[in-house]
Amino acid sequence: MTEAFDLQRLLLSLGVVLLLLVFLALAARQWRLRSPLQGGTELEVLSSTYVGPKERVILLRVRDREVLLGVSPQQISTLSELAEASHAEAQ
């Protein structure tokens, strides 16, 4: 009878540990979704377009500046930096 009791305790302990892991994983996921890097005002992708099979140009707004980046599989290059005011005047 003690073997059955020990097995029940082992399974109960394992279940508690698994539930704790699931809870911590869900909490970490929620925290990551709410972090300022995700959807914050510090960095915003304004536009993106492909210029080749694996190359693209991305327009980012970083705080009060706009940055035009060239992205390829090997590197990321800054193509131009623009002030946000110039973007607002163009509209």
Looking from the CA of 22 toward its CB, the CA atoms found within 13 Å total 6
Nearest-angstrom CA–CA distance, 91 and 80: 19
The overall pTM is greater than 0.85: no
Q: pLDDT by residue (tens digit) across 32-83?
A: 766 555 555 678 888 999 999 999 999 998 888 899 999 999 999 999 998 7
Query: Collapsing DSSP states into helix, strand and coil, what is residue 28?
Result: helix
